[in-house]
Amino acid sequence: MDYRGMSRGELEDEMERLQRDLADLEEVIGFDLMNTSAHISGRQVRKDEACLAALREQITVVRRLLRRPEDY
């Protein structure tokens, strides 16, 4: 996603959304790993880790853009 074209307000909204998504995904993964008796494949674990990493990277990008007020 191209965050550079967003206004400061849009970036702040996007940051909130990304953080909610990350918290939700961490909660779901944690529940699956700790509270289910089902076997979780290595493939699914890698997929979950990739999703977490992607969300964290997006948060980092938005955070950097929010720290640069000269762009707005």
Distance, C-alpha 50 to centroid of its chain: 10
Q: What pLDDT, in 10s, does the model give residues 19-61? A: 999 999 999 988 877 877 777 888 988 999 999 999 999 999 9
Q: Report which residue type is found at 40.
A: I
Domain ranges of the chain: 8-71
C-beta separation of 67 from 11 below 8 A: no
What's the confidence (pLDDT) of residue 69?
61
Give the integer Cα–Cα distance in Å for 59 and 66.
10
Would you call 62 exposed, middle or buried from its count of C-beta atoms within 10 A (0-12, 13-18, 19+)? buried
Is the pLDDT higher at 65 or at 32? Answer: 65
